[in-house]
Amino acid sequence: MLIYGKNPIYEAIRSGQKIDKLFLLRKKLNTYNSIITEAKNHKIGIEIVDDIFFQRKLKNSLHQGIAAVIKSIRTVLYNLDFDKIEFLVIADSITDPMNLGSIVRSSLLFNAEGIIIPEHNSSGITSAVIKSSSGAVFHQKIFMVKNLRNAIKRLKSEGFWIYGLDMGNNLLIHNAKIEKSDRVAIIIGSEGKGMHRIVKESCDFIVSIPTTEKIDSLNASTAASIAMWEIYKKKFLSS
């Protein structure tokens, strides 16, 4: 996989992600002294290239003159270590890589300990997701499952409360009675259709974010960030 951008590549190196080769734009070498030092410390091969390389490989992507070849991101297929996890995010059919990347980044910021995504009908962990996450993907557990409903059943059997985020519901998320000791998973549906019916029916609670009526809905990643912040406050900041 070819990834790009200063922050994603720096975080990839910092996380210990296996990197086969680093590509740097010749005219921007002085910009990346710290990354070059890190790459050499980790014995990562460096190739100096010209504009044509990035034009050919990445076209209009915001590459910042830096790219790297990595092994595909390792995902754990339905092998959660429940003993150590208290807060999860479930992305139900988030197909836009920019949204998924942003959700991953926010999940790390708000202390979620993993993201569950379905194997099908969802963006995978692509270079665009990695760029959008600013490299947070390399520090977060990504669990890819074949069936979300079965994954939710298993979470419930392990004592998780399942919250689904859906606009217009009467229970506002800031009023949800989440205790510090609760094990919580929040489901974020796709922007256009929301949660799948069968996934929604699996929730213990459906919550919404209070808004004005000036626009129909929030961007999926924005809504996810607000929901995660509310859970973070209740689980980790409340006295």
pLDDT digit of tens for each residue in the chain (239 aa)? 999 999 999 999 999 999 999 999 999 999 999 999 999 999 999 999 999 999 999 987 889 999 999 987 766 544 666 778 999 999 999 999 999 999 999 999 999 999 999 999 899 899 999 999 999 999 999 999 989 999 999 999 999 999 999 987 779 999 999 999 999 999 999 877 889 999 999 999 999 999 887 776 789 999 999 999 999 999 999 76
Q: Tell me how far CA of residue 8 lies from CA of 34, 162, 221, 224, in angstroms.
A: 14, 31, 19, 21
User: Residue 168, Cβ neighbours under 10 Å: how many?
Assistant: 11
**Residues paired with 145 in a beta bridge:** 118
Query: What's residue 82's pLDDT?
Result: 72
With CA atoms as reference, report the closest residue to 99 among 195, 224, 226.
Answer: 224
The reported pLDDT for the residue numbered 8 is: 96
Distances (CA, A) of 235 to 57, 84, 108, 227, 230: 44, 15, 15, 12, 9
User: Given this model, what pLDDT does residue 168 score?
Assistant: 74
Give the pLDDT of residue 215: 73
Task: Mention every residue, 6+ apart, whose C-beta is less than 8 A from residue 222.
Answer: none
pLDDT of residue 78: 46
Domains (ranges, CATH) in the chain?
2-70 (3.30.1330.30), 82-237 (3.40.1280.10)
Q: What is the pTM of this model?
A: 0.92
Q: Which contiguous run of DSSP H or E holds residue 97?
A: helix 97-109
The pair of structure tokens assigned to 76 is: 């754990």
Burial of 62 (0-12, 13-18, 19+ CB in 10 A): exposed
Predicted pLDDT of residue 195: 93
Residue keyed to tokens 């790390």:
108
Q: What's residue 77's pLDDT? A: 44
Tokens of 239: 């006295």
